[in-house]
Amino acid sequence: MKLIYSLSLLFILSACSESDQSSGSNAAESDDFEAFYQRFHADSLFQMEHIAFPLAGLPIHADSLEDARSFFWQEDNWVLHRAFDERLTGYERSRKRFGSNIIIETIVQKDTDIGMIRRFAKMDDEWILIYYAAMNQFEPNN
């Protein structure tokens, strides 16, 4: 059921426009997501409970369009995601909000086109990871 809902959200995402994060309601929503985000990276059980397995995405170093159409991360081989400090690493993070229920995060190596993409959706009043493309070469505007 989560998979069907996740795929529906991805379809809706393509029709949504990016929202302006400067408004007051978006500030509260950003705080809500930030609290989730911190706990997601600190609490392994919480993380596993907030991923829509099987999770659509791309494996590391995907080399074909076939990978993009048929790859799903599974719960039994998931590698936990941990927080990192951008100031101490060679990575930069950016987020785009689409409406109030979708956030796309991109983390890239500085001065390269290597990075990862994660998509989070708010479902049943909780944030859930709905897509994860591991470290791959990609266009910066994805």
Q: Where are the alpha helices (DSSP H) in the chain?
A: 2-15, 24-42, 44-49, 65-70
Residue 142 falls inside a structural domain = no
Which residues pair with residue 131 across a beta bridge? 56, 119
Residue 65 falls inside a structural domain = yes
Tell me, what CATH number does 71's domain have? 3.10.450
Q: Residues 35-59: what's their mean pLDDT?
A: 97
Measured CA to CA, the distance from residue 83 to residue 106 in angstroms comes to 14
Question: Domains in the chain: how many in total?
Answer: 1
pLDDT tens-digit series, residues 34-44: 999 999 999 99
Which range of residues forms the domain containing residue 70?
2-137
pLDDT tens-digit series, residues 106-135: 999 988 889 999 999 999 999 999 999 999
Residue type, 72: F
Contacts of 94-97 spanning 24+ positions with Cβ under 8 A = 96/18, 97/18, 97/19, 97/21, 97/26, 97/29, 97/30
Query: pTM of this prediction?
Result: 0.77
- Choose the weakest-confidence range: 5-19, 37-51, 72-86: 5-19
User: How many residues are present in the chain?
Assistant: 142
